[in-house]
Amino acid sequence: MAGQIPQRFIDDLLARVDVVEVVGERVALKKSGRNYSGLCPFHQEKTPSFTVSQDKQFYHCFGCGAHGNALRFLMEYDNLRFPEAVEQLASRQGMEVPREGADDPRAQARERKRQEGVNLLELAANFFRERLRMTEAGAARAYLERRGLSAEVQAEFGIGYAPHDWEALKRHLSERGIPEAVQVEYGLLVQREDSGRTYDRFRDRVVFPIRDFKGRTIAFGGRVLGDAKPKYLNSPESPVFHKGRELYGLFEARQANRQLERVLIVEGYMDVVALAQFGIRNAVATLGTATSEEHLSRLFRLVGEVVFCFDGDRAGRQAANRALETVLPLMIDGRQARFLFLPEGEDPDSLVRREGADAFADRITCASPLSEFLFEQASLGRDLARVEDRERFASQVLKALQRLPEGVLKSMLLAELAKRSGVDQARFEALLTLSAAYEVERDGGSSPQAFESREEPSKGHIPGRAAGALGLVGRTLQLLVHEPRLVERLPETLEWCPADEPDGALCVEVIELLRAGGYRSPQVLLAHFHGRVEGQRLVELARRELLIPREARANELDGLVEHFRQQRLRRTPQSEIDSLLARERNGERLTREDRQRLKELLTALSR
């Protein structure tokens, strides 16, 4: 979309929208005094801890900490990006979203190109579906019949057929005015580098449309009917398709059950469709990649339990180990992860046909919990009666527990480790604390003041691990997250901010964004960083209680800025030169102020 959405429009939009109405369309709410309450949609719970305030126009969960306004709720619940959530809220009010620079010809061209791509993929999906009904698709229909797929399931998943023709789709789309360059960009055509000739990517294949959360076609997967290679083929990355983010079958699973509680992750789209045929409607598949943290974050916004399904062979176990590493940092209390291993030589498609839906569902229910799989893997090939093997077993489990967020699950796993190893739980807790402190020191150190703080000790943000106490730059950033208006008190230039320290670069980026957009709402600030690692850090700071009274926050910020200025003055010229040059060697682009400062320092040293 062209241009930035003005802050004044966002403020006006939020003033018109009722958060109770927006949330109530997706969550069953009951009046509770002045507020409304219900079961939190962001984690599994049996007792309501989710509150929506009509007076203050925000929601808050006392269980998982989810918090925000109507805009933030749409982003989290419907997995929308910031501009899409604004568009959806605006459409409810019959408002058109203005954009700064909307009359920019380049912005208009980008918007036309984006819409062209969306239309193109839908045209292609319709083409494939139509060709499946024609005489030439006899072999494709026979294949789907052998796999036991009903006409209803084929229609629900939009399955089609790509003709055994080098240019069938190309001709169809070109006749409708779609340029070949756009067809190439969105992965429908392949262009030879030597001759420049273009031809259809999918030929003589059963085609499975890959849809986003709104049901829009964003890519395709094709299963070959003959002997061509590869057997399965996916669309390449495109402006609308990113393999590490999308999951095949998620849209269809949500359509089948809007109150999903569990999702089964399998390997391929044929497994998803075959399970759906047998009434198992909660399966999704990654698209040629391992399950990523982004995949799991999306799923845990929708469900409380994820079940990984793997082959029972060595490769399947290795894939399960990778999945365990990925899921550990996301296991806040209330979430569950299980691991299902199939008999060797079977996949979900073949097994559900042989055993039936009930038996397969029983396998899912009895899948190994994360705790059981973790301890099982750590004990493989080890005799726990021997001290040395028991030490290696405990060390491997502790290494995994370092990646877990603080909570009941982590405490219970430590207790179980103590029971299995014969070592006191307090000793393991001390080892974890020492290890965390060592990592903090290695990744940037901590000031004595930080360890004297009332918060937990840590200075920098380390993704995947619970954050600790804030360093001084972190405290500055926290003040700005809670009170964006404080940006008005900051000096015009940012030379005071130590960008080479943890949180420093993010602090500079936040200040520049607040100044450029004029944003004064913490929720809008967080929305701009949604989906980024930096966004996780800002959410973490927003959720921390700000221990400084509101009336003292401006003075606190002034004091921090003055401290950084004095610290900069105390640094030797050579140390400052070394720091600036190190940042440049690491690929960071120095600001105009930094370059000017470096020039001054080098000139002073040469005298």
Q: What are the pLDDT digits (tens) for 118-166?
A: 789 999 999 999 999 999 999 999 999 999 999 999 999 999 999 999 9
Strand bridging mode 58-61 / 50-53: antiparallel
Q: How far apart are CA 370 and CA 146, in angstroms?
A: 36
Residue 348 CB-half CA count within 13 A? 30
- CB neighbours of 517 closer than 8 A, spacing ≥ 6? 4, 7, 524, 528
Q: How far apart are CA 155 and CA 144, in angstroms?
A: 12
The predicted model gives 379-407 an average pLDDT of 90
Higher-pLDDT residue of 25 and 417 is 417
Confirm if 331 and 409 have CB atoms less than 8 A apart. yes
SS3 content of the chain, % helix, strand, coil (to 5): 50, 10, 35
The predicted model gives 107-114 an average pLDDT of 62
Q: What are the pLDDT digits (tens) for 250-307?
A: 999 988 987 788 999 998 899 999 999 999 999 999 988 889 988 898 788 778 899 9
Q: In the predicted model, is pLDDT for residue 117 greater than 90?
A: no
The predicted model gives 324-338 an average pLDDT of 91
Q: How far apart are CA 336 and CA 174, in angstroms?
A: 49
pLDDT of residue 110: 59
**410, burial (CB in 10 Å: exposed 0-12, middle 13-18, buried 19+):** buried
pLDDT of residue 109: 66
Q: In the predicted model, is pLDDT for residue 501 greater than 60?
A: yes
How is residue 492 written in tokens? 């015009």
* pTM recorded for the entire structure: 0.61
Beta-carbon neighbour count of residue 531 at 10 Å?
16
Q: In the predicted model, is pLDDT for residue 453 greater than 80?
A: no
Q: In the predicted model, is pLDDT for residue 184 greater than 90?
A: yes
| Mean model confidence pLDDT for the chain | 83
- CB neighbours of 254 closer than 8 A, spacing ≥ 6? 213, 260, 302
Band (572; pLDDT cuts 50, 70, 90): low
- The pLDDT > 70 percentage for the chain reads 87
Question: Which phi-psi region, left, alpha or beta, contains residue 531 (left: φ > 0; alpha: ψ -120 to 50)?
Answer: left
